[in-house]
């Protein structure tokens, strides 16, 4: 392949399975699957586990997750026979934040909520990515305006230039759930209660009929660009998405 070509175009027509298989061959144990056990992440785990027994899966435990998420995490671990690396926020940072701004500071302002997300999510993610060359996420373009421009394979400048892979970028919500039903993929129990996006318990709610699928996230905020910082940097407003030469070849 001539890597002067745009990698976005090169991978755009590929199926999620093709992209995952290529990534596993390319990076092996230095490839991590980041998940919060929502539908998209479960699809990726299911696809990858059928290709490789010892995929590297990690998650961020903010300390404020739903009890249903903890129970489901154990279910996923047993179902697929995989280890799940769990990363926690720094205790001293949490203590300082809560002592000075309160346990529920996220309700005060977007800035305060971003502070909480940075301590509980963004900082642990940086530790989780140490030693990795690439990571796989379940982002889709139709999840919101801030995600319209994601690419299936791209350089992640927010995280030291790692390769970020979004195999489901061009999938719809219906395609995700069709795969789950067809392949009997375990489902997070909160979906049955009307949740369409699942994060921390105080910051996530079920949505009402007709609401946007992300409406249950930080519903008290007026902004439509609702991101925690894991995939989008609010302070820069940029994904830093410039493609570079990434690898020597793509597996056929």
pLDDT value for 12: 86
The CATH architecture of the domain made up of 7-187 is 3-Layer(aba) Sandwich (3.40)
Helix (H, G, I), strand (E, B) or coil at 97: helix
Long-range contacts of 201-204 (CB under 8 A, 24+ apart): 201/64, 201/65, 201/66, 202/64, 202/104, 202/106, 203/64, 203/106, 203/113, 204/66
pLDDT value for 166: 95
Per-residue pLDDT of the chain in tens (252 residues, 90 and over written 9): 433 346 657 788 899 999 999 999 999 999 999 999 999 999 999 999 999 989 999 999 999 999 999 999 999 999 999 999 999 999 999 999 999 999 999 999 989 999 999 999 999 999 999 999 999 999 998 876 767 778 899 888 888 889 999 999 999 999 999 999 999 999 999 999 999 989 999 999 999 888 888 788 888 887 655 555 565 543 333 333 333 333 444 444
CA-to-CA distance for 71 and 37, rounded, in angstroms?
11
Q: Which residue has the tokens 């940029």?
A: 238
Give how far the C-alpha of residue 17 lies from the chain's centroid of Cα atoms, to the nearest Å.
Answer: 17
SS (H, E, C) 98-145: HHHHCCCHHHCCHHHHHHHHHHHHHHHHHHHHCCCCEEECCCCHHHCH
Q: Which residue has the tokens 């140490």?
A: 130
pLDDT value for 240: 34
Domain residues of the chain, as ranges? 7-187
CA-to-CA distance for 76 and 97, rounded, in angstroms?
32
pLDDT value for 246: 38
Report the catalytic residues: 228
Q: Which helix (H) or strand (E) holds 39?
A: helix 39-49
Angle at 111 between CA 108 and CA 114, to 5 degrees: 105
Is residue 103 within 8 Å of 120, Cβ to Cβ? Answer: no
Parallel, antiparallel, or unpaired for β 153-156 and 56-60?
unpaired
CA-to-CA distance for 242 and 240, rounded, in angstroms?
6
CA-to-CA distance for 211 and 186, rounded, in angstroms?
25
Give how far the C-alpha of residue 174 lies from the chain's centroid of Cα atoms, to the nearest Å.
Answer: 18
pLDDT value for 230: 63
pLDDT value for 212: 82
pTM of the prediction?
A: 0.86
């Amino acid at each position: 392949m001539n890597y002067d070509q745009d990698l976005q175009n090169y991978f755009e027509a590929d199926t999620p399975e093709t992209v995952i298989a290529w990534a596993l061959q390319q990076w092996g144990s230095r490839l991590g699957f980041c998940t919060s056990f929502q539908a998209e992440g479960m699809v990726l785990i299911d696809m990858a586990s059928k290709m490789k027994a010892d995929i590297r899966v990690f998650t961020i435990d903010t300390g404020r997750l739903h009890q249903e998420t903890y129970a489901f995490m154990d279910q996923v671990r047993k179902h697929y026979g995989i280890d799940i690396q769990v990363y926690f926020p720094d205790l001293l940072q949490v203590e300082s934040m809560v002592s000075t701004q309160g346990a529920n500071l996220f309700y005060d302002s977007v800035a305060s909520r971003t502070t909480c997300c940075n301590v509980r999510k963004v900082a642990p993610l940086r530790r989780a990515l140490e030693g990795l060359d690439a990571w796989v996420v379940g982002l889709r373009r139709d999840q919101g305006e801030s995600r319209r421009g994601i690419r299936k394979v791209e350089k992640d400048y927010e995280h030291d230039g790692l390769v970020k892979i979004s195999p489901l970028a061009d999938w719809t919500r219906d395609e995700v759930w069709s795969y789950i039903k067809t392949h009997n993929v375990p489902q997070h129990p909160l979906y049955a209660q009307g949740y369409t996006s699942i994060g921390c318990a105080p910051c996530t709610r079920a949505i009402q009929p007709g609401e946007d699928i992300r409406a249950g996230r930080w519903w008290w905020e007026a902004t439509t660009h609702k991101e925690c910082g894991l995939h989008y940097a609010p302070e820069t407003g940029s994904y830093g998405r410039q493609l570079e030469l990434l690898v020597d070849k793509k597996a056929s």
